Amino acid sequence: MKYFKPILVVTLIFIFPAVSYLYLRSGFQYRKDALEELKEMKDLALEQKEFLLSKDSTFFDAEDKIVNLYLKMENEQDEKDLQFLGESMKNRSDLAITALYSNLNLASFSDTIYSKTIQRFPLSAQTAFFDSEERLILTKENKIRKTYGRSVDQFKKAYEHTVILLPVEKKDKITLIREDEK
Q: What's the rounded Cα separation, in Å, for the pair 117 and 114?
A: 5
pLDDT of residue 13 exceeding 90, the answer is yes
Cβ atoms of 94 and 65 within 8 Å: the answer is: yes
How many domains would you assign to the chain?
2
Do 45 and 31 lie in a common domain?
no
Residue 108 placed within a domain: yes
Residue 99 placed within a domain: yes
Do 95 and 136 lie in a common domain?
yes
Residue 181 placed within a domain: no
State the CATH number of the domain containing residue 69.
3.40.30
Cβ atoms of 95 and 166 within 8 Å: the answer is: yes
28-71: pLDDT as tens digits: 999 999 989 888 777 766 656 665 655 445 455 555 677 778 77
Residue scoring higher pLDDT (143 or 123): 143
pLDDT of residue 116 exceeding 50, the answer is yes
> Tell me, what's the pLDDT at 117?
72
Name 118's bridge partners. Answer: 97
The mean pLDDT of 97-117, rounded to a whole number, is 63
> Tell me, what's the pLDDT at 16?
93
Residue 174 placed within a domain: no
Do 6 and 74 lie in a common domain?
no
- Return the amino acid letter for 40: E
> Tell me, what's the pLDDT at 51?
59
Residue 33 placed within a domain: yes
pLDDT tier at 127, thresholds 50, 70, 90? low
Do 3 and 54 lie in a common domain?
no
Residue 182 placed within a domain: no
Q: What's the rounded Cα separation, in Å, for the pair 31 and 22?
A: 14
Supply the mean pLDDT for the chain: 76
pLDDT of residue 74 exceeding 50, the answer is yes
Do 13 and 92 lie in a common domain?
no
Residue 170 placed within a domain: no
Residue scoring higher pLDDT (102 or 96): 96
Query: How many alpha carbons lie under 13 Å from residue 58 in its C-beta half-sphere?
Result: 11
Instruction: Name the least confident of 86-95, 96-105, 118-127.
Output: 118-127
pLDDT tier at 172, thresholds 50, 70, 90? confident
Do 48 and 23 lie in a common domain?
no
The domain in which residue 1 lies consists of: 1-39
Do 134 and 153 lie in a common domain?
yes
Do 76 and 29 lie in a common domain?
no
Do 75 and 122 lie in a common domain?
yes
> How would you classify the pairing of strands 135-138 and 67-73?
antiparallel
